[in-house]
Amino acid sequence: MKGFVIGIIVILSAVFPISASETRLSDSSELLEQLDSELTRRNDYTSKRQNKADSVKVLLLADSLGPVSRYLELGDLQGGLNADSAIVMFSQGFKAAMSVGDSVMAQRFLIKRATELCKLSSTPDAMNDIVNVAQSGVYPENRALFYEVGRNIYYTMAEVFEGTAMRDNYIKPGFKYAKELQSALPTDSYDARLNLAMMYFAQGNDAMFLACLMDLSEEIPESYGNYSMVLTALGGRQCVLGATDEAVSNLAKAALRDVRAGDRHGTALIRLGVALYDAGDLARAHNYLSVALEEALAGGAKTNSMMISAALMPVSQALREQERTTFIMLVGLIVCLCGVALLLWNLYRSKRRRTRELERIKQQLAKANQSKEAYISEFMNLSSSYMEGLEEFNRITRRKLAAGQVDDLLNIIKSGKMIDEQRKKFDDIFDDAFLAIYPTFINDVNALLAPEKRVVTPAKNVLTTELRVLAFTRLGVDDTAQVARFLGVTLNTVYTYRNKLRNKAIRRDTFDADVMKIGIIE
């Protein structure tokens, strides 16, 4: 029993650590539960964004000569839904702008298209658009957008090649774009402060990068266009520094914003999945990365798909291993519980068996008491019978002597009729008394004898002379002469009966000891 209990404790102690790591995320658990709920409604949010895009498309088709800006609005809406559709829309917008001689807008379409090409992993084409814009000269109205897109494209590629020598080939040009962007942005604007943080990142100044993002995250409203980008960058950096709970909290806020905006191209959910994997919440990590992959495939964001695939593989492997370990432990727990149940069942059966045994012994003791009373009663009957016989013999003797019939009296004594009658009474009373004490004596003796040599009694509850000899032995009467007197036989007859029964025994050497065990309550 003790071994089973220890086994259960060991198994439970192994199971608990699986969920213990999740307690580290207690502060952000409410946000994660909120995100779980919103992810189930993500199709509603994307449908809402798609409906808005469809409304703009209807206006565009109804008035082909309408404002070119509708192409820009439609492209931006499609940008979060499907990169291919956004590219098509920005390309059409470029042609429409060129057809009306709006070079500034045409250039803006090219810059916007570069962002979507980067999402599709068509980085050479995206950079080609940027180069073409740079060669033709960036209009002042497009400077901030141009440098922002250039920075984002190069930073994205630097992240793809993180940990390799190729990273510097992208981070350095990205820093140049960020530097130009800083001069094009209003001083102390949210965008300028975000860009400054990105410059610190490119320079490897993690402390300033983190400080700028933390200050900015406390001020920006959720309506800010780059809200998700700020919190995603901050959460990603906190995750690297080991501030898991803070990282998960910020990444969850960013992911919530992306989901509610119907944006399939955000990276917050990807980074959140990685952070949760590091925190040990494998189930959520796998779920978030799976949803992110589904959204990336639906939105044509191939760059995101590559990031997710790289992150999902170790998570899936770890989750399978955890499930396997949990399954093994549950099987072990079930086996232990079954063992305990079996042990308890055996204990219950043993207790029942012991209870029945005690009940049997109790009944035997009760029968023994009854037998004792019966034996005393039979003894009294035997004594009474002898007294009656003696009185009867006295009356006959007195009568015969008074009548002078001495010869008749002598004949009665010589016939032995009275002694035979008394001995017959003794045998009957002895048999009844003895079998009352040892009711299975005849069967028990026969069980000690060879099958073909067993004793057959003349009637039920009647002993043969040889069984009476054995009965006196069982009662502990060792005096052979006394046994012979009781039974009215010679000493030699008693010896003969004893040897005869011993020779019939299955185990001759232990026969006498086996007889003494008959009727013992164990």
What integer best gives the mean pLDDT of the chain?
83
CA distances from 272 to 109, 279, 320 (A): 32, 10, 20
Reading the block at residue 187, the tokens are 């001083």
- pLDDT band at 21; cut points 50, 70, 90: very low
Question: For 359-383, what is the mean pLDDT?
Answer: 62
Residues contacting residue 102 through CB under 8 Å, at least 6 positions apart: 68
- The per-residue pLDDT for 15 is 40
Q: What is the pLDDT of residues 148-169, one digit of tens each?
A: 999 999 988 888 787 788 888 8
Burial 465-504 (b: 16+ CB within 10 A, else e): ebbbbbbbbbeeeeebeebbebbbbeeebbeebbeebbeb
Percent of the chain with pLDDT over 70: 86
Lowest mean pLDDT among 14-18, 161-165, 435-439, 473-477: 14-18
Predicted confidence (pLDDT) at residue 503 exceeds the cutoff of 70? yes
- The per-residue pLDDT for 9 is 36
Q: How far apart are CA 32 and CA 287, in angstroms?
A: 12
Predicted confidence (pLDDT) at residue 309 exceeds the cutoff of 70? yes
- pLDDT band at 177; cut points 50, 70, 90: very high
- The per-residue pLDDT for 398 is 77
Element (DSSP H or E) covering residue 106: helix 103-119
- The per-residue pLDDT for 258 is 93
Predicted confidence (pLDDT) at residue 279 exceeds the cutoff of 50? yes
Q: Nearest to residue 225, comparing CAs of 196, 257, 248, 193?
A: 257
Reading the block at residue 287, the tokens are 């779920």
Residue with tokens 């780059």: 226
- pLDDT band at 67; cut points 50, 70, 90: confident
Crossing angle between the packed helical segments 417-437 and 302-402, to the nearest 10 degrees:
160
Question: For 250-260, what is the mean pLDDT?
Answer: 94
Phi, psi of 505 (to 5 degrees): -70, 150
Predicted confidence (pLDDT) at residue 402 exceeds the cutoff of 90? no
Percent of the chain with pLDDT over 90: 31
Question: For 217-243, what is the mean pLDDT?
Answer: 92
For residue 270, count other CB atoms closer than 10 A to its CB.
Answer: 27
DSSP class per residue in 236-301: HHHHHHT-HHHHHHHHHHHHHHHHHTT-SS-SHHHHHHHHHHHHT-HHHHHHHHHHHHHHHHHHT-
Lowest mean pLDDT among 18-32, 107-121, 148-162, 390-404: 18-32
Q: What is the pLDDT of residues 363-374, one digit of tens each?
A: 766 665 565 555
Q: Nearest to residue 231, comparing CAs of 241, 170, 246?
A: 246
For residue 128, count other CB atoms closer than 10 A to its CB.
Answer: 14
Residues contacting residue 120 through CB under 8 Å, at least 6 positions apart: 83, 84, 87, 300, 301, 302, 303
Question: For 43-67, what is the mean pLDDT?
Answer: 84
- pLDDT band at 221; cut points 50, 70, 90: very high
CA angle 408, 410, 411 (to 5 degrees): 65
Question: For 261-271, what is the mean pLDDT?
Answer: 90
- pLDDT band at 233; cut points 50, 70, 90: very high
Per DSSP, which regions of 317-395 are E strands?
none
- The per-residue pLDDT for 20 is 36
Predicted confidence (pLDDT) at residue 1 exceeds the cutoff of 50? no
Question: For 395-399, what is the mean pLDDT?
Answer: 77
- pLDDT band at 415; cut points 50, 70, 90: low
